Amino acid sequence: MAAADVLTPSAAHASSWGPYQHVGSIIAKPTKEAFDPKKHLNFAPPAKVHTMADIGLPKDTGVSALAVSEPFPLFTPEAVMRMREEVLSDAVMDNCQYSSNLAQAQLRGYADKYAPFVYDAWKHPETLRIVSKVAGIDLAVQFDFEIGHINLSFKTEEQRQRELRAYHNPPMPKTTGSGADDNDQDAAPPIVGWHKDSYPFVCVVMLSDCTNMIGGETALRTGTGEILKIRSPQMGHAIILQGRYIEHQALRALGATERITMVTSYRPRQPHVRDDTVLTTVRPISDLGELYHQFAKYRLEMLEERVRAQLRELVDARAAGRRVPTRRLKAFFVEQQRFLEHMDREMVQDEEVVKGVMGH
């Protein structure tokens, strides 16, 4: 197995937050307080941002230098409480659950219908400014369906205690013919398996109390083939990852009865920056009507802006008495043709998409 580096997390935030089975009293008394960045944001810059070059990938990989940030504070405990109220509500749990061969339990496409606080928190200009600052490029939320995607992992107290006993009192190592340790914690099934994201950037926020959690890191495969482990953020803390270009997975955690992470996806705001969005990992776990509508809408808006800019250039050239830039214009046509062909490939016919199976 490749060597694993570990990034040091930000200072832990002390909390008396309880696991999912103990939040019923909170959910039973929901508040209607709107998102207020002055009250609900708690941003402090990450101690370090690791670049593509730092992890052994070419500098031109992706659309900014960032590979991944170390965990940093983003939301206050009050904001996390409001988010939990909404995402663990009956309406969301009953109507927005998905599972796949990549992850067993996810909540998607709920924010604009059932979670106004979550929706406003991620769409607020100050939140967008913070995420863009860390990412090193001006970003926009991918589209509404991808606001606040939730990855869920729950255990009973008995399971938690059994795992901790096994962790602290491991049996004698057993090795296979390959020499791997059969008791290696890294061999435990991950919460989310190895993959590259469909979207350029993700901001991952922890909604659980990680005080006694062991593990739960995000593992990245570097350009040298080694595994880089980034410690799990504390409650309300976040990491930003250019996940479209880096293979990664969420490792299983011990010592807690829940691990709930919220993931919001981003793309470059400027229409002339390349957009490598695919739908491979999201088609099988989405309402295709919503997904395809929102995907097509923003891509066609990008195309519209590109065409308008090219038209202005053409008109200005004529007004200045310059010849039509034939070669450059034809290159523009080819680029936009590829742009549309890419959209066509990603919008697979509904009947050909297999629910829960990635790659379809």
Does 285 map to a domain? no
Tell me, yes or no, whether 29 lies in a domain: yes
Cβ distance 358 to 99 under 8 Å?
no
Report yes or no on 286 lying in a domain: no
77, 187: one domain: yes
User: CATH number of the domain that 99 lies in?
Assistant: 2.60.120
Same-domain pairing of 301 and 214: no
Q: Nearest to residue 291, comparing CAs of 348, 342, 243, 341?
A: 348
In this predicted structure, what is the pLDDT of residue 282? Answer: 95
Residues 169 and 307 placed together within one structural domain of the fold: no
> Last residue of a domain, which of 277, 307, 330?
277
Tens digit of pLDDT at every position of the chain (360 positions): 444 333 333 333 333 333 344 343 334 345 678 999 999 999 999 999 999 999 999 989 999 999 999 999 999 999 999 999 999 999 999 999 998 876 778 999 999 999 999 999 999 999 999 999 999 999 999 999 999 999 887 776 777 677 777 777 777 655 544 444 444 444 556 656 788 999 999 999 999 988 878 888 889 999 999 999 998 889 999 999 999 999 998 887 777 778 899 999 999 999 999 999 999 999 999 999 999 999 999 999 999 999 999 999 999 999 999 999 999 999 999 999 999 999 999 999 999 999 987 665
Predicted local distance difference test score (pLDDT) of residue 11: 35
Boundary-marking domain end, from 214, 242, 277: 277
256 plus 197 within the same structural domain: yes
Question: Which of 277, 309, 325 lies at the terminal end of a domain, its last residue?
Answer: 277
**Does 126 map to a domain?**
yes
Q: Return the pLDDT at 181.
A: 45
On whether both 272 and 320 belong to a single domain, the answer is no
Q: What is the pLDDT of residue 199?
A: 98
Contact 284, 358 (CB under 8 A): yes
3-state secondary structure of 209: coil
Q: How far is CA 356 from CA 99, 200, 201, 243, 321, in A?
A: 6, 22, 22, 20, 58
> 344 and 240: one domain?
no
Residue 173 within a domain: yes
Split into its structural domains, the chain has a count of 2
Same domain, residue pair 188 and 47: yes
292 within a domain of the structure (yes/no) = no
Q: At what angle do helices 77-87 and 116-123 cross, to 10 degrees?
A: 130
Provide long-range contacts, Cβ within 8 A and 24+ apart, for 123-131. 123/147, 124/35, 124/37, 126/37, 126/41, 127/37, 127/41, 130/41, 130/43, 130/74, 131/201, 131/203, 131/240, 131/266
**Strand bridging mode 258-268 / 139-141:** antiparallel
Q: How many alpha carbons lie under 13 Å from residue 66 in its C-beta half-sphere?
A: 25
* CB neighbour list of residue 87: distance below 8 Å, 6 or more residues apart: 107, 110, 115, 118, 148, 150, 207, 260, 262
Separation between Cα atoms, residue 283 and residue 199, nearest integer Å? 12
Structure tokens at 278: 């695919």
Same domain, 259 and 303: no
Cα dihedral 63/196/54/228 (nearest 10): 160
Do 223 and 341 sit in the same domain of this protein?
A: no
In a domain, 206, yes or no: yes
CB atoms near residue 297 (< 10 Å)? 11
- Its domain, for residue 307, covers 297-352
Contact (Cβ atoms closer than 8 angstroms) between residue 247 and residue 196:
yes
pTM of the model: 0.84
Measured from the Cβ of residue 272, the count of other Cβ atoms closer than 10 Å reads: 10
- The dihedral through the CA atoms of 137, 140, 141, 143 has a sign that is negative
111 falls within a domain: yes
Does residue 119 sit in the same domain as residue 208?
yes
**Domain shared by 114 and 211, yes or no:** yes
Instruction: Examine the domain organization and report whether 170 and 255 are in the same domain.
Output: yes
124: Cβ–Cβ under 8 A, 6 or more apart, which residues? 35, 37
C-alpha 112, offset from chain centre: 18
Q: What is the dihedral of CA 12, 16, 20, 21, to 10 degrees?
A: 150
**C-alpha pair distances (Å), 22 with each of 181, 234, 245, 258:** 37, 19, 38, 11
